[in-house]
Amino acid sequence: MEVQTTMLLEVINPYILLGIGIVLIGLEAVIASFILIWFGLGFVLTAIFSMFYEFSDGVWQLAVASMLSLLFIILLRKRFLKKFLDSKEDITDNFLDESGIGEIKNSKVFYKGTYWEIDPSVDESSFVEGEKVVVSKTYKNFASIQKK
Protein backbone atom coordinates (compact mmCIF):
# COMPACT_ATOMS: atom_id res chain seq x y z
CA MET A 1 0.00 0.00 0.00
CA GLU A 2 1.50 3.26 -1.14
CA VAL A 3 0.82 6.52 0.69
CA GLN A 4 -0.14 9.31 -1.64
CA THR A 5 0.84 12.85 -0.74
CA THR A 6 -0.62 15.94 -2.25
CA MET A 7 1.33 19.07 -2.88
CA LEU A 8 -0.33 22.30 -1.91
CA LEU A 9 2.03 24.39 -4.00
CA GLU A 10 4.47 23.39 -6.70
CA VAL A 11 8.12 23.67 -5.75
CA ILE A 12 9.26 27.20 -6.53
CA ASN A 13 12.25 27.63 -8.81
CA PRO A 14 15.26 28.86 -6.75
CA TYR A 15 15.85 31.67 -9.25
CA ILE A 16 12.34 32.97 -8.69
CA LEU A 17 12.97 32.96 -4.93
CA LEU A 18 16.26 34.76 -5.54
CA GLY A 19 14.46 37.34 -7.69
CA ILE A 20 11.82 37.92 -5.03
CA GLY A 21 14.56 38.39 -2.43
CA ILE A 22 16.46 40.89 -4.57
CA VAL A 23 13.28 42.85 -5.32
CA LEU A 24 12.43 43.02 -1.60
CA ILE A 25 15.95 44.22 -0.76
CA GLY A 26 15.68 46.82 -3.53
CA LEU A 27 12.29 48.00 -2.25
CA GLU A 28 13.87 48.49 1.18
CA ALA A 29 16.05 51.20 -0.32
CA VAL A 30 12.91 53.05 -1.47
CA ILE A 31 10.63 52.46 1.50
CA ALA A 32 13.29 52.43 4.26
CA SER A 33 11.16 50.51 6.75
CA PHE A 34 14.08 48.26 7.71
CA ILE A 35 11.80 45.23 7.52
CA LEU A 36 11.73 44.31 3.84
CA ILE A 37 15.48 43.73 3.81
CA TRP A 38 15.08 40.86 6.27
CA PHE A 39 12.37 39.22 4.16
CA GLY A 40 14.61 39.71 1.13
CA LEU A 41 17.49 37.99 2.91
CA GLY A 42 15.17 35.17 3.96
CA PHE A 43 14.16 34.61 0.35
CA VAL A 44 17.76 34.79 -0.88
CA LEU A 45 18.92 32.21 1.68
CA THR A 46 15.96 29.97 0.87
CA ALA A 47 16.89 30.22 -2.82
CA ILE A 48 20.43 29.12 -1.98
CA PHE A 49 19.09 26.22 0.13
CA SER A 50 16.76 25.26 -2.72
CA MET A 51 19.70 24.95 -5.10
CA PHE A 52 21.31 22.26 -2.90
CA TYR A 53 18.30 20.70 -1.15
CA GLU A 54 15.16 19.58 -2.91
CA PHE A 55 12.04 20.72 -1.11
CA SER A 56 8.99 18.50 -1.39
CA ASP A 57 6.54 21.38 -1.58
CA GLY A 58 6.56 25.10 -2.31
CA VAL A 59 4.81 25.75 0.98
CA TRP A 60 7.91 24.50 2.79
CA GLN A 61 10.05 26.93 0.81
CA LEU A 62 7.80 29.83 1.78
CA ALA A 63 7.74 28.62 5.40
CA VAL A 64 11.55 28.49 5.54
CA ALA A 65 11.80 31.96 3.97
CA SER A 66 9.26 33.34 6.45
CA MET A 67 10.88 31.70 9.46
CA LEU A 68 14.34 32.96 8.48
CA SER A 69 12.92 36.44 7.92
CA LEU A 70 11.18 36.56 11.29
CA LEU A 71 14.31 35.24 12.98
CA PHE A 72 16.38 37.99 11.34
CA ILE A 73 13.83 40.63 12.34
CA ILE A 74 13.75 39.48 15.96
CA LEU A 75 17.51 39.05 16.35
CA LEU A 76 19.03 41.71 14.13
CA ARG A 77 16.63 44.58 13.40
CA LYS A 78 17.13 46.51 16.66
CA ARG A 79 20.92 46.16 16.50
CA PHE A 80 21.08 47.40 12.93
CA LEU A 81 18.63 50.24 13.60
CA LYS A 82 20.76 51.38 16.52
CA LYS A 83 23.96 51.10 14.50
CA PHE A 84 22.71 52.88 11.38
CA LEU A 85 20.19 55.40 12.71
CA ASP A 86 21.74 56.60 15.99
CA SER A 87 23.84 59.69 15.54
CA LYS A 88 27.14 59.95 17.35
CA GLU A 89 26.76 63.72 17.54
CA ASP A 90 23.89 65.59 19.11
CA ILE A 91 23.11 68.18 16.47
CA THR A 92 20.87 70.97 17.66
CA ASP A 93 20.66 73.23 14.67
CA ASN A 94 17.67 75.42 15.39
CA PHE A 95 18.35 78.63 13.51
CA LEU A 96 15.13 80.18 14.85
CA ASP A 97 16.42 79.90 18.42
CA GLU A 98 19.36 82.20 17.75
CA SER A 99 19.28 85.86 18.65
CA GLY A 100 19.24 88.52 15.97
CA ILE A 101 17.62 91.69 14.66
CA GLY A 102 13.90 91.84 13.91
CA GLU A 103 11.44 94.56 12.96
CA ILE A 104 8.07 95.55 14.37
CA LYS A 105 5.38 95.16 11.68
CA ASN A 106 1.63 95.10 12.26
CA SER A 107 2.10 94.80 16.04
CA LYS A 108 4.22 91.67 15.53
CA VAL A 109 7.92 90.96 15.24
CA PHE A 110 9.13 90.13 11.74
CA TYR A 111 12.17 87.92 12.29
CA LYS A 112 13.86 85.43 9.94
CA GLY A 113 11.00 85.58 7.47
CA THR A 114 8.28 84.85 10.01
CA TYR A 115 5.85 87.00 12.00
CA TRP A 116 6.07 86.30 15.73
CA GLU A 117 3.75 87.44 18.50
CA ILE A 118 5.47 89.73 20.96
CA ASP A 119 6.19 88.04 24.27
CA PRO A 120 3.33 88.94 26.70
CA SER A 121 5.84 89.90 29.41
CA VAL A 122 7.14 92.73 27.19
CA ASP A 123 5.31 96.08 27.07
CA GLU A 124 4.17 96.30 23.43
CA SER A 125 3.32 99.99 23.64
CA SER A 126 7.01 100.95 24.00
CA PHE A 127 7.70 99.83 20.40
CA VAL A 128 6.66 101.68 17.23
CA GLU A 129 5.86 100.39 13.76
CA GLY A 130 9.03 99.75 11.70
CA GLU A 131 11.36 99.89 14.72
CA LYS A 132 14.34 97.51 14.72
CA VAL A 133 14.51 95.33 17.82
CA VAL A 134 16.85 92.69 19.23
CA VAL A 135 15.22 89.26 19.32
CA SER A 136 16.82 87.36 22.17
CA LYS A 137 14.72 84.19 22.00
CA THR A 138 11.88 82.59 20.08
CA TYR A 139 9.58 79.96 21.51
CA LYS A 140 6.30 78.51 20.34
CA ASN A 141 4.78 81.49 18.50
CA PHE A 142 6.39 84.21 20.62
CA ALA A 143 9.55 86.30 20.42
CA SER A 144 11.32 87.89 23.37
CA ILE A 145 12.46 91.32 22.25
CA GLN A 146 14.40 94.30 23.56
CA LYS A 147 15.13 97.78 22.30
CA LYS A 148 18.07 97.98 19.97
Give tens-digit pLDDT for 9-30.
899 999 999 999 999 999 998 9
CA distances from 120 to 27, 104, 124, 142 (A): 51, 15, 8, 8
Q: Can you tell me the distance from the alpha carbon of 115 to that of 87, in angstroms, rounded to the nearest whole number? A: 33
- Across the chain, the runs of DSSP E, i.e. the strands, are 100-105, 108-111, 114-118, 132-139, 142-147
Q: Where in the chain is the domain with CATH 2.40.50.140?
A: 95-147
CATH classification code of 95-147: 2.40.50.140
Lowest-confidence pick of 66-70, 75-79, 134-138: 134-138
Confidence at residue 112, expressed as pLDDT on a 0 to 100 scale: 82
